Chain A
Amino acid sequence: MATAAATISSANLRRPNPFTIYLKEARYEFLKCLRVPMYSVSTIAMPIMFYVLFGLVMGRQMIGSVSATAYLIPAYGTFGVMGASLFGTAATLASERSMGWLQMKRASPMPPFAYFFAKIVMSMTFSTIDVMLLLLLGFTFGGVHLPAIVATKLALTLIAGSIPFCAMGLAIGYFAGPTSAPAVINLFYLPMSFCSGLWMPLMFLPKFIQHLAVFLPPYHLSQLAFRLIGAGNGQPNLGHWEALAGFTMICLGIAWVGHLRDQKANG
């Protein structure tokens, strides 16, 4: 009965376990997005479809020293992770922010970071599904052979690569409106993917794009992944990690400015 609960004095209020809240928040964020076909189907289907068309169907030529089917796992893996993370954070944040739902959450005792934590975990989960499906297709139909340790490192690198794009998604989500968000995301997502060599190896792209690529985060993530299978530009990993870390910080900074701007506008 509610009356029984009401007799508990404020002194012995126990706090709910924050760990439980974070997990529950993440689980429901995942369910929420899984049930939106626009998100769940397109973030999984797009990279898989590209891989089937350009990797499995188009034939078995070599790109540098590796087969196209192997080469395209890091490439479309990066593409998939980027899509899952950008749409998973920016699109949901933009809509929840503008419709008052974020405000409703802020009025509740939800730990403030649980909200963002949930979006990141959700994005990483979809990223994991993408990467696993690509590896599975590569192993079964693409004739790709990778030692287990390499495959594991490849998967973990790509999944960790979700974080910079979640940060970028938050930055976009705080400035884009609910209806414009998907368009704004695509304006970044598709050109960045192309210019980073995710659709077509960089060596086949014009020189100026090759110079531009070093400024793009998907380029750095894909290079980390390429290196694991013996492809890529062969530059040391540290620079790529640094570039991604720096990009993450810049995006979080922009997101923070957007957050403060919202706070000010609302109160």
Chain B
Amino acid sequence: MSISQVLPISRRQISIPQPVARLEAVSKSYGNVQALVNFTFDVRAGELVALLGPNGAGKTTAIKLLLGLARPTTGRVSVFGGDPASVATHTRVGAMMQVGRVPETLRVGEHIDLFSSYYPNPLPMAETLAIAGIENLRDRRFGLLSGGQKQRVLFALAICGNPDLFFLDEPTVGLDVEGRHMLWDEIRKLLALGKTIVLTTHYLEEADALANRIAVINKGSIIAQGTPSEIKSRTSGKKIRCVTQLGIPVIKNLADVLDVQAERDAMVIHTRNAENSLRALLSLDREVSGIEVTSAGLEEAFLALTRDRN
């Protein structure tokens, strides 16, 4: 642990020798489906750690375990050194979950008033509304809000108790670009207050914009972990699409090429360095046509990461 990670703890006069939350060799299966496999993960005080992965990777399962909503099949889960399901732990935790429907006839202010009452030291209502940016929605019924506004109210419910640790499960899902950026700003405000945040997302961009640390999850395991720049450097490949007479085995041996797939009449080439691969390609086949170069998306990033591991 670096000094910067220790500081927020001592400022809050809480001495916790172990990480604020920990999954220790946790496996979790639902029937035949293995949601998490021997999963070990620490959350350190004052950091924002993003669990990044595609749908079904096990992100939500990890959050449910940390909230005590699910029990591990094997392994150990602790939050603030205690049982994640206990009321005592929950008073120090705020959660934003993927909720299908919230009682729609209650007003925003009423929902916040009720959730605030569960906590020992809640924020004043005005402050909760201000941080979530929903001052003007206080008297509006939940059912009458837009999707983005609903998402902000759920965020307000997570912060209203002024907890130390936040679990935000895909907080910006369903938001437009503007809404997403506004919520990012609000999440950064929490971080500036010294809070610890665990966030799940399937947007590499979101993890990059917010996180101190990213854990990439696929099929229930962490396949890569590090700072956003470390992760990006491992996944900054490009994708070249072109029509060429060269066969797959030849292309595979070109400079920096990671993988090749035939897609109808074209070839899709994943490469570490588009310029190098293109130079090599053009020198071998002067008839190449329809060249498109795009950044590798998250999908390619996962491909690259899983390949690194094998």
Give the interface size class of chain A.
35 or more
| CB proximity of B80 to chain A, nearest CB, Å | 8
A6 contact from B12, B65, B68, B102, Cβ within 8 A: B12
One digit per residue, 1 when the CB lies within 8 angstroms of any chain A CB and 0 when it does not, for chain B 232-251 equals: 00000000000000000000
Does A101 lie within 8 Å of B113, measured CB to CB?
A: no
- Chain A nearest CB from B183 CB (Å) reads 17
A2 touches B127 (CB 8 A): yes
Partner of A266, one of B64, B91, B118: B64
The stretch of A15-23, A79-87, A240-248 in contact with B is A15-23
B226: CB under 8 A from chain A? no
Q: Is the CB–CB distance between B69 and A266 below 8 Å?
A: yes
* A238 touches B (CB below 8 Å): no
**8 further interface pairs, Cβ-Cβ under 8 Å (given A5-B123, A31-B110):** A5-B121, A13-B91, A33-B105, A101-B100, A101-B102, A103-B97, A107-B95, A266-B70
* Nearest-Cβ distance from residue B158 to partner chain A, whole angstroms: 9
Q: Are A103 and B120 in contact (CB under 8 A)?
A: no
| Nearest CB in chain A to that of B163: its residue | A109
Q: Which residues of A contact B (CB under 8 A)?
A: 1-3, 5-10, 13-16, 20-21, 24-25, 28, 31-33, 35-36, 95-96, 98-101, 103-104, 106-111, 266-267
B7 within 8 A of A: no
Closest chain-A Cβ to B100's Cβ sits at a distance in Å of 4
Chain A residues, CB < 8 A from B93: 107
Interface membership of B53, Cβ < 8 A: no
Q: CB-CB contacts of B25-45 with A at 8 A, as 1s and 0s?
A: 000100000000000000000
CB distance from A6 to the nearest CB of B (A): 6
CB contact list, B162-207 vs A, under 8 A: 162, 164, 167, 193-195
CA distance A128 to B70 in the complex (A): 39
In the complex, what distance in Å separates the CA atom of A100 from the CA atom of B132?
22
What is the count of residue pairs linking A and B with beta-carbon distances less than 8 angstroms? 115
Residues of B within 8 A of A1 (CB): 127
Contacts of A8 in B (CB 8 A): 121
- Chain A residues near B261 (CB-CB < 8 A): none
**Cβ–Cβ contact B14 & A103, under 8 A:** no
Q: List 27 A-B contacts (CB under 8 A).
A: A1-B127, A2-B127, A2-B193, A6-B194, A8-B121, A14-B121, A15-B91, A16-B117, A16-B118, A21-B118, A24-B114, A25-B114, A28-B106, A31-B106, A31-B110, A99-B100, A99-B102, A100-B100, A101-B102, A103-B69, A103-B99, A104-B99, A107-B97, A107-B167, A110-B118, A111-B87, A266-B69
> Within 8 Å CB of B91, what residues of A?
13, 15, 109
Chain A residue nearest to B162 in the complex (CB): A5
Closest chain-B Cβ to A10's Cβ sits at a distance in Å of 5
Q: Are A9 and B117 in contact (CB under 8 A)?
A: no
- Closest A residue to B107 by CB, please name it: A31
Which residues of A lie under 8 Å from residue B195 when comparing CB positions? 6
CA distance A53 to B91 in the complex (A): 53
Task: Please name the residue on chain B nearest to A267 by beta carbon.
Answer: B70
- Please give, as numbers and ranges, the residues of chain B lying within 8 Å of A111 by CB-CB distance: 87
Q: Which chain B residues lie closer than 8 Å to A267 at the CB level? A: 28, 64-65, 69-71
Q: Which residues of B contact A96 (CB under 8 A)?
A: 103
Interface residues of B (CB under 8 A from A): 11-14, 28, 64-65, 67-71, 87, 90-93, 95, 97-103, 105-106, 110, 113-115, 117-121, 123, 127, 131, 141, 157, 161-162, 164, 167, 193-195
CA distance A103 to B63 in the complex (A): 12
Contact B105 A36 (CB under 8 A): yes
Contact of A108 with B64 in the complex, beta carbons under 8 Å: no
For the complex formed, measure the closest distance between the CB of A22 and the CB atoms of chain B, giving whole angstroms. 10
Nearest A residue to B159 via CB reads: A2
Which residues of chain B are within 8 angstroms of A14 by Cβ–Cβ distance?
120-121
CA distance A20 to B227 in the complex (A): 44
Please tell me if the beta carbons of B114 and A101 are within 8 angstroms of each other in the complex. Answer: no
* CB atoms of A32 and B12 under 8 A apart: no
Asked whether B101 lies within 8 Å of A95 as measured between CB atoms, the reply is: yes
CA distance A160 to B125 in the complex (A): 37
A100-B99, A101-B103, A266-B70 are contacts. A7–B12 as well, Cβ < 8 Å? yes
